A and B are shown apart, each in its own frame.
Chain A
Amino acid sequence: MNVDKLIESISNKSDRIGRKVNLMEVCGTHTMAAFRSGIRTRLPQQVRLLSGPGCPVCVTSDRYIDHAIELAMTENRIITTFGDMMRVPGSRGSLSLAKARGKDIRVIYSPQQALVAARKNPGREVVFLGVGFETTTPLVAWTIQNAFSQKIPNYSVLCAHKTIMPAMRALCDSDDVRVDGFLCPGHVSVITGAEIYQPLCREYHAPCVIAGFEPEDILLSIDMLLNQIISGEASVEIQYTRSVTTEGNKLAQDCVNDVFEPCDVPWRGMGVIPSSGLSVRSSYKGYDAELKFPDIRVNEVKRDTGCRCGDVLRAVITPSECGLFKKECTPDNPIGPCMVSSEGTCAAYYRYSRIDE
């Protein structure tokens, strides 16, 4: 369907519904795609796109960054990370700052490069910062399996991987915000399969559409959600049929289940969410950086900066409603990760739409 027709269809449906509709796009990549493509400015006023906690960098705690930096302090270690993490502020600075101070911190594109670094530097410990949701976790799991079978002793992962469904449930449980439907994360769903969202429909009557990342995919998904709202139904539909199936990627799922197990972890701004995190199983404990380097002691530091990232992540407020937004907190001087992350909601609002909203 062409874009103009989609917009027209969405507008007509919005008129039929006759009230404000809050659609949450959980995934940070959807947030960015919606902003960058400009489709947000074409949606009717009554259709609101809320950004959710699907930004793995944004929901990672200060403690993790501090831990990673502490690990970097030891001479013999190489810290490898995705670029997304470099500028996130911990309680005492960022990885980028630690690198400027001479620590060996390397940005890589693929976790496989971390394994290669371990092979090329046998005398040094290589730690990979494992951050990301279900799309990324299988890749990291594979590197651990491979390190194990190839007997590579100097590789480990500092795991902060999380799963998205427990957070979506927590949002439905919370009274703070009414979500009329979910644009479900397209690439997470490639791995997990569409079935995982069924509880949201069954228990919370929340319409779910699994959306692709082209702007046309997002628009079509919005149209499909509005259809469900009009009909009063709540089901899981796959818009992104190019990539998403009901069962997902079994090979990837098996890999994750072999290496990781669920655990309770804190999400920035949302508290501890049961079974929402992953930790390395004891069978692979030699590859768990948390266990491998027990000399690192990092405390949770409570910083009272006035940052309201937590409220933004739960869509309780939009960035514009945070007192620090555009004033003390800007992309040049980010107070919280939502402003510094490549797909943080505050960064998106600031960079793409600060004149409109």
Chain B
Amino acid sequence: MCLAVPVKIVSLSKDRYTAVVDAGGVRREANVAMIEEPQVGDYILLHAGFAIQKWSTDDVKEYNEIIQRRENSSE
């Protein structure tokens, strides 16, 4: 019941709760009010236009490994 995708914060606005995020080359505004101290460069989980969780660099690494392993095994 929950479509959410990992995206990267590419800019933050002054009001502190709006960010622009990038997912695979597609950008959108996102509401980051429910993330503690969001920074540009952070990866967050986006659900219906809102960030619901921050990912650490290890989390991003784990995710990329899953995707990479999938791509390797299908070649």
Question: Chain A residues in contact with chain B, CB under 8 A?
Answer: 2-4, 27-29, 54-56, 82, 109-113, 132-133, 135-136, 138-139, 142, 185-188, 190-191, 214, 216-217, 241-243, 249, 251-252, 255, 343
* CB within 8 Å of A: which B54-75 residues: 55, 59, 62-63, 66, 69-70, 73
| A113-B49, A187-B4, A251-B33 given; 9 more Cβ-contact pairs under 8 Å | A2-B73, A29-B2, A55-B1, A136-B48, A186-B2, A188-B1, A216-B69, A243-B45, A251-B35
Structural contact, A132 and B1, CB atoms closer than 8 A: yes
Kindly state the separation between the CA atoms of A54 and B62 in the bound complex, as whole angstroms. Answer: 27
Structural contact, B2 and A188, CB atoms closer than 8 A: yes
Quote the shortest CB–CB distance from A244 to chain B (angstroms): 8
Structural contact, A185 and B1, CB atoms closer than 8 A: yes
Kindly state the separation between the CA atoms of A343 and B1 in the bound complex, as whole angstroms. Answer: 8
Interfacial chain A residues near B47, Cβ < 8 Å: 135-136, 139, 187
Structural contact, A216 and B59, CB atoms closer than 8 A: no
Kindly state the separation between the CA atoms of A118 and B53 in the bound complex, as whole angstroms. Answer: 28
Kindly state the separation between the CA atoms of A186 and B55 in the bound complex, as whole angstroms. Answer: 14
**Do A112 and B1 contact each other (CB < 8 Å), given the known contacts A139-B47, A190-B52?**
no
CB nearest neighbor in A for B43: A242
Quote the shortest CB–CB distance from B47 to chain A (angstroms): 6
Interfacial chain A residues near B69, Cβ < 8 Å: 2, 216
Most buried by A among B34, B62, B69: B34
Quote the shortest CB–CB distance from B73 to chain A (angstroms): 6
Structural contact, B52 and A252, CB atoms closer than 8 A: yes
Q: Can you list 22 A-B pairs, Cβ within 8 angstroms, ordered by A?
A: A2-B69, A4-B73, A29-B1, A29-B2, A109-B49, A112-B31, A112-B50, A133-B2, A135-B47, A138-B52, A139-B48, A142-B50, A188-B2, A191-B52, A216-B69, A217-B66, A242-B55, A242-B62, A242-B63, A249-B52, A251-B35, A251-B36
Interfacial chain A residues near B48, Cβ < 8 Å: 82, 109-111, 136, 139
Structural contact, A249 and B34, CB atoms closer than 8 A: yes
Interfacial chain A residues near B35, Cβ < 8 Å: 251
Asked if B26 is at the interface of the complex by the 8 Å CB criterion, the answer is no
CB nearest neighbor in B for A191: B52
Kindly state the separation between the CA atoms of A214 and B36 in the bound complex, as whole angstroms. Answer: 26
Interfacial chain A residues near B49, Cβ < 8 Å: 109-113, 139
